[in-house]
Amino acid sequence: MGDSLVYVRAVHFAATIVAAGTVLFMFLVAEPAFRNAEANVAAELGKLRQRYRVIVLASLGLAVPSGLAWLMLLSGNIYGVSIAEVWRDGGIWTVVGQTRFGQVWSIRMVLAVLLATVLLSTTTPANGSRWGLVPAILGAGFLIGPAWIGHAGATPGDAGQFPLAADALHLLAAGAWLGGLPPLAILLAAAWRGKEPGWTAVAVMAAQRFSLLGVFNVGVLLASGVINSWYEVGSISNLVTTSYGWLVLAKFGLFAAMVILAAVNRFYLTPRLAMAGVVRRMQHNAIAESTLGFAAVAVVGFLGVMAPASHSQYHPVYGYIPADAAYVHIHSLAGMADVAIVPGHVGTARVTIRLWNEDFAPLPAQRLTLTLTPPAAGSQSMTRAAAADQDGGWEVDGIELAQPGNWTVGVDAGLDTKRHLVLEAPIAIAPSQ
C-alpha cells in the first residue's frame, strides 16, 4: 500500500492546490482586475468566471475521493489488513474518530463541501460575488489542513509549534502561487485571443497583482521551506547523505527554477505586456512554472511517507542506544519503531524494539514478532516472538548474526485483536570485531 499512498497523496495535494489556488487567485488578483474592466469585455469575463468555477468544482471532485482513498489506505496500514476488510469491519470509523489524521480529514472534507456549496449557490455565471472573502477563507482552510497531519504536526510539545506554523504558511503560499498559475495562464490565453482592446488592461492589471503576490509568496516559501527543512533534515550531513535529504534538494531545485521563471515574468515581461506577443510568452512561462511546481508536489508525495532525517532529535530513547549498536528508525503514518541490535556486528546479539504513535508517545502492543533476513540471496529469515520488558519496550535475546551486510528487519506488532503495525527496513550489520 506504501507506493499507492505516495501517488494518492500527490494527486490529493495537486487537486487541493488547484482548487484553493484558483479561489485565492480570483479573490486577490482576478476580481480586482475585472472590476475596472471596460464594458466591451464584460460578457467574456463572465465566461471566464464560469470556467474558473468549473475548475474549482472539478478539482474538489478529485480532492475529495483522493482524500477518501488516502484515509482508506492509511486505515489499512494501521490495521494491517486490506481496504475491503477495514471498511467491512468498521476500522475506518475508528481512524476517523480517534486519530489526528481522521479528525483533520473530517474538518477538511466539511470545508470542501462548504466551498462547493458557496460556488454553486449563485446561479448567474457573470456574478463575481461568489469569489469573495468567505470562499477564500474556506479554500485557505482546506489548503493548510495537512500541516496538522504532517511531520511538523507530529513533533511533540512546544518544539512542534514553530515548524507547524511554518508548514501551514508554506502550504498557504504554495497554494496561492502554484495554484494561481493555471488560472493566470487561462486568463492570459483569453487576453491573447480577445480582439477587444479592454483585454490588455485586464491582463496587465492581473499580471501586476499576481507578480506582487508572487514576490510575497516566494519570500514566505523560502523562509518556511528553510525552517521546515532544518527541522526535518536536521543537518547539512543529512541533507547530502540521506534519501530524504536528496528529495529535499530536488524540491529546492524545482523551486529555484520556478523562481527564475517568475523573475522573468515579474521584471521583464510584465512591464512589456502591451507589446505584441508578450502576453503569449508570459502564458507559456506560467505553464512552465506550473509544470515545475507540480513536479515538486510529486516529490512531496514521497517525502510525506518517509521518516524525516532529523527524527532522532525528538526521541527520548536515542540517548540509551549503545555506541556499538546497529540501529534503525522505521517510520510510517500508522506508527513508528526503533530497532537496536546490540552489538551490531556478526555474532550473538540482543534486539530491542520500541514502538511510538504519531505523537511520539509509546505505542502499547499486545504481542510483537521480529523477523531478520540475511543479505545473501536465498537466505532463510529468522522469526522470533519478542518479550515485553519493564520499560514498555520489547526484547529478543540470542539472535545469531552469521554474516555482515544489509539485513532486513521486520516488525509485526499486534496492537489489539484486529490492528497490526507492520514495518520493515534495512539495517547494517558490521563484520565481527
Of 215 and 105, the one with more pLDDT: 105
User: What per-residue confidence (pLDDT) applies to 162?
Assistant: 65
Say whether pLDDT at 268 is over 50: yes
Which one of 303, 323, 358 terminates a domain? 303
Q: Are residues 175 and 55 in the same domain?
A: yes
Q: Are residues 271 and 334 in the same domain?
A: no
Map residue 235 onto helix, strand or coil: coil
Alpha carbon separation from 34 to 10, 115, 176, 196 (Å, rounded): 33, 22, 19, 14
CB 249 within 8 A of CB 239: yes
Alpha carbon separation from 245 to 122, 124, 232, 248, 337 (Å, rounded): 47, 50, 9, 5, 21
User: What per-residue confidence (pLDDT) applies to 325?
Assistant: 85
Q: Are residues 272 and 347 in the same domain?
A: no
Q: What percent of the chain has pLDDT over 90?
A: 29
Q: Which of these ranges, 86-95, 149-158, 285-294, 303-312, has the smallest mean pLDDT?
A: 149-158
Which one of 252, 283, 303 terminates a domain? 303
Measured from the Cβ of residue 416, the count of other Cβ atoms closer than 10 Å reads 10
Strand pairing class (367-373; 347-356): unpaired
- Confidence class for position 16, pLDDT limits 50, 70, 90: very high
Measured from the Cβ of residue 373, the count of other Cβ atoms closer than 10 Å reads 17
Q: What percent of the chain has pLDDT over 70?
A: 86
Q: Are residues 298 and 321 in the same domain?
A: no
Q: At what angle do helices 161-178 and 278-303 cross, to 10 degrees?
A: 150
Strand pairing class (326-332; 335-342): antiparallel
Say whether pLDDT at 75 is over 70: yes
- Cα(47)–Cα(126) distance, rounded to whole angstroms? 7
Map residue 335 onto helix, strand or coil: strand
> 150: which 3 cell numbers?
504532517
Residue 309 lies in a domain: no
> 296: which 3 cell numbers?
515538486
Q: CB under 8 Å to 128, separation ≥6 — which residues?
A: 26, 31, 34, 35, 49
Say whether pLDDT at 48 is over 80: yes
Q: Are residues 253 and 142 in the same domain?
A: yes
Q: Are residues 201 and 235 in the same domain?
A: yes
Of 120 and 160, the one with more pLDDT: 120
Number of structural domains in the chain:
2
CATH classification of the domain holding 289 = 1.20.1630
Residue 73 lies in a domain: yes
- Strands, sheet with 394-401, edge to edge from the N-terminal-most edge strand: 326-332, 335-342, 347-356, 394-401, 387-388
CB 305 within 8 A of CB 5: yes
Closest CA to 25 of 135, 144, 115, 110: 135
Which one of 278, 303, 328 terminates a domain? 303
Q: Which of these ranges, 58-72, 160-174, 281-295, 333-347, has the smallest mean pLDDT?
A: 160-174
Say whether pLDDT at 315 is over 50: no
Q: Are residues 295 and 380 in the same domain?
A: no
Q: Are residues 320 and 227 in the same domain?
A: no
Please give the residue range of the domain that contains residue 371: 315-429
User: What per-residue confidence (pLDDT) applies to 63?
Assistant: 96
Say whether pLDDT at 116 is over 50: yes
Q: Are residues 275 and 371 in the same domain?
A: no
Q: Are residues 68 and 135 in the same domain?
A: yes
CATH classification of the domain holding 389 = 2.60.40.1930
- How close are the terminal C-alpha atoms of the chain, in Å? 39
Q: Is the dihedral of CA 204, 207, 212, 215 positive or negative?
A: negative
- Cα(312)–Cα(89) distance, rounded to whole angstroms? 36
Over residues 223-235, mean pLDDT: 73
> 395: which 3 cell numbers?
526484547
Residue 369 lies in a domain: yes
CB 119 within 8 A of CB 130: yes
**What rounded mean pLDDT belongs to the chain?**
83
